[in-house]
Homo-oligomer: A and B are copies of this chain.
Amino acid sequence: MNESKERSIPETVKGVPEPTLRRLPLYYRLLKQLRDSGRAGVSCTMIGTELKLDPTQVRKDIEMTGTVGRPKVGYDINELVCAIERFLGWDNTVEAFLVGAGSLGEALMGYGGFTECGLQIVAAFDVDPNKCHRVMHGKHVRHVSKLPNLMRRMKVRFGIITVPAVEAQQAANLLVEGGALAIWNFAPAKIQVPERVIVTNEDLYCSLAVLSQKMTRKLALSRSKGGSKP
């Protein structure tokens, strides 16, 4: 019974639930830690306890990656790590261009951990001539005017936008012109791109909203109910 029945990624027509995609890296990180500490197997219960998630949810998420477990034993950590990598596309290296060599751009370039996800920032671009012709964390910074041609020549299909909001659309245009398939947009602005291009916005204001509203509400409630320490 070791025939590995249909081990491939399930290619349903419907997309994968985004909440699932956002949880998989959490499992991935934990699994690597567990593996480093010498463990070979893991159960949904354990992952759930560790990450404060429902075990069934963990099981369903893992199911998406195509990994099968065994009752009483759980999953093989190595197998699971590989399955998640494969499922997320982190098993192949993807080269990326970064637009906007400010401190956020620099922070991302210095973020060593992306190589673990197969993401490799190969060059940075900026409108400011003073920032060009430098090397930042081992990557050349070039003028944005060079972006589209270079992107096509190097067959880079992934773009990262770390420019101020007002310049975001221009940056997106350059990346689209260069043939980008996917854009990771850190600018707090909506960008217009052709439908074929996949965009994920990393809008800090949206996250901040969640936090500050919860905090505000909590303060308001504690003030209205118990006076000092409920």
Contacts and interface: CB of A to CB of B under 8 A. Distances in A.
Contacts of A213: 16, 21, 87-89
A11 B220 contact: yes
Interface in A186-208: 188-190, 198, 200, 202-208
Nearest to A112: B164
A119 B21 contact: no
What does DSSP make chain A's interface, helix, strand, loop or mixed? Answer: helix
A15 interface: yes
A22 B188 CA distance: 13
A103 interface: yes
B25 A209 contact: yes
- Chain multiplicity (copies): 2
Q: How large is the interface on A (under 10, 10 to 19, 20 to 34, 35 or more residues)?
A: 35 or more
Contacts of A15: 214, 217
Contacts of A9: 217, 220
Interface string A175-195: 000000110100011100000
Interface string A7-27: 001010001101001111110
Nearest to A104: B107
A211 interface: yes
Interface of A: 9, 11, 15-16, 18, 21-26, 28-29, 51, 87-90, 92, 94, 102-104, 106-107, 110-111, 113-114, 117-119, 157-158, 165, 181-182, 184, 188-190, 198, 200, 202-221, 224
